[in-house]
Amino acid sequence: MNGQRLNDKVIVIVGGTSGLGRSAASACVAQGASVVVVGRNSEKCDAACNELGERCHSVTGDACLPETAIEAIRLAVNSFGDLHGLYHVAGGSGRSRGDGPLHEITDEGWRYTLSLNLDSMFYSNQAATNKLLELGHGGSILNMASVLAHSPSPRYFATHAYATTKAATIGLTKSAAAYYAKQDIRFNAIAPALVDTPLAARAMSDAKILDYVATKQPLDGGRVGVPQDLDDAVVFLLSDESRFVTGQVLNVDGGWSVSEGQYPSATRGKADS
């Protein structure tokens, strides 16, 4: 073995130009893969390719539109000769558009959050599945979920449309895993807790939330995650090492989903929305 876990694999990463996706793209290339990264910002797309070299190409586009994933997968096959995996990271919070607790969610907040997180995932998963079926070989499709899909934190993270989309991500992942197992197309999801990315800017600037997370994510001294904490799990689930794994949700959460978490005494009994 050459020590590269993704040697000669071709991977499309939707949302691969910043945060978790950008870190994963670097890890995949370091492990021997060729990647196509998708992002909204052309400068970030160019920066990713400049840093990662000739084994990285990019597509600038809106992941909520069906043609974006189709274009990225076409580019991957035309440029690198095949397709072996998809990592769907694109998505985000709808808090600024009206997401929140159920009784406060606006129509715009609901529609925006579902489109951002579910439409984008549906289109990328469908496009990758169609191409793998056409190519006649298996592959690995990995989706970005969240611990909030199954382990709520109501005081500081009450965005119920977002949680709904991440629970739906798990539902589609498991349903597709069952249906396409005979074609050796694997579907899995990765569920992080609080990770220091642009999406987490609100939480990262709030001392109360950071104090809470220190007890909710107690591993490694109690800290916020960093994108690199997820990279080995991503590589594993995209590689042949996980060839007998499908329909699974891997929490990479610092202990969030098994820890109670402690609120500062000054805020005990007060609900934040």
pLDDT tens per residue, range 82-140 = 999 999 999 999 999 999 999 999 999 999 999 999 999 999 999 999 999 999 999 99
Q: Specify if 272 maps to a domain.
A: no
Q: 187, 176 in Cβ contact below 8 A?
A: yes
Q: Quote the domain boundaries for residue 220.
A: 10-252
Q: Specify if 271 maps to a domain.
A: no
Q: Is 220 left (phi over 0), alpha (psi -120 to 50) or beta?
A: left
Residue 3 has pLDDT above 90, yes or no: no
Q: Specify if 265 maps to a domain.
A: no
Which position has the token pair 């995650």?
225
Residue 259 has pLDDT above 50, yes or no: yes
User: Please, what is the average pLDDT of the chain?
Assistant: 95
* CATH number for the domain that contains residue 192: 3.40.50.720
Q: Which are the catalytic amino acids?
A: 162
How much is the pLDDT for 95?
95
Q: Specify if 261 maps to a domain.
A: no
Number of domains in the chain: 1
Residue 161 has pLDDT above 50, yes or no: yes
Amino acid at 1: M
| Prediction pTM value | 0.94
How much is the pLDDT for 267?
53
Q: Specify if 5 maps to a domain.
A: no
* Residue of 144, 96, 97 whose CA lies nearest to 118: 144
The tens digit of pLDDT for each residue in 61-77 reads: 999 999 999 999 999 99
Residue 60 main-chain phi, psi, to 5 deg: -95, 125
Which position has the token pair 């909710």?
216
In the numeric block, which tokens belong to residue 176? Answer: 């597709």
Q: Specify if 202 maps to a domain.
A: yes
Distance CA 141, CA 242 (A): 12
Q: What is the average pLDDT across 160-171?
A: 98
How much is the pLDDT for 266?
59
Residue 2 has pLDDT above 60, yes or no: no
Q: Specify if 83 maps to a domain.
A: yes
Amino acid at 172: L
Q: Specify if 267 maps to a domain.
A: no
* Residue of 17, 32, 27 whose CA lies nearest to 231: 27
Show the 3-state SS of the chain. CCCCCCCCCEEEEECCCCHHHHHHHHHHHHCCCEEEEEECCHHHHHHHHHHHHHHEEEEECCCCCHHHHHHHHHHHHHHHCCCCEEEECCCCCCHHHCCCCHHHCCHHHHHHHHHHHHHHHHHHHHHHHHHHHHHCCCEEEEEECCHHHCCCCCCCCCCHHHHHHHHHHHHHHHHHHHHHHHHCEEEEEEEECCECCHHHHHHHCCHHHHHHHHHHCCHHHCCCECCHHHHHHHHHHHCHHHCCCCCCEEEECCCHHHCCCCCCHHHCCCCCC
How much is the pLDDT for 1?
43
Amino acid at 144: M
